[in-house]
Amino acid sequence: MSMQSHLAELEKKHRALNEKINDCQAHPAIDDLEVVELKRRKLLIKDEIERIRHTESDSVH
C-alpha cells in the first residue's frame, strides 16, 4: 500500500468516526464511554495522519 493510499484510508476512517460521534451525541441514550472511546480512536487516527504528512513533507525538502 502506498503512503498516499494509506493516508486516504486513514482520512476516510477519521471522517467515519466523526460521523459516528455526531450520531451518538444526537441520541442521549448512547453511553458516554462509547463516545469517549470513539473520540480516542479518532484522535489516534488524526495523530497518525499528521505523522505521515510531516514525514512526507520532510522527505520533499
Q: Is the pLDDT of residue 35 over 70?
A: yes
- Model pTM? 0.83
* pLDDT confidence bin for 60, thresholds 50/70/90: low
Decide if 53 contacts 21 (C-beta within 8 A).
Answer: no
Instruction: Kindly tell me the burial class for residue 10, based on how many C-beta atoms sit within 10 Å of its own C-beta (0-12, 13-18, 19 or more).
Output: middle
The predicted structure's pLDDT at residue 39: 97
Estimate the crossing angle of helix 32-60 against helix 3-26, to 10 degrees: 160
Where exactly are the structural domains of the chain?
12-60
Measured at the CA of 53, the angle between CA 16 and CA 25, to 5 degrees, comes to 25
Average of per-residue pLDDT values in the chain: 91
Q: Is the pLDDT of residue 59 over 80?
A: no
User: How many angstroms separate the CA atoms of 61 and 55, rounded?
Assistant: 10
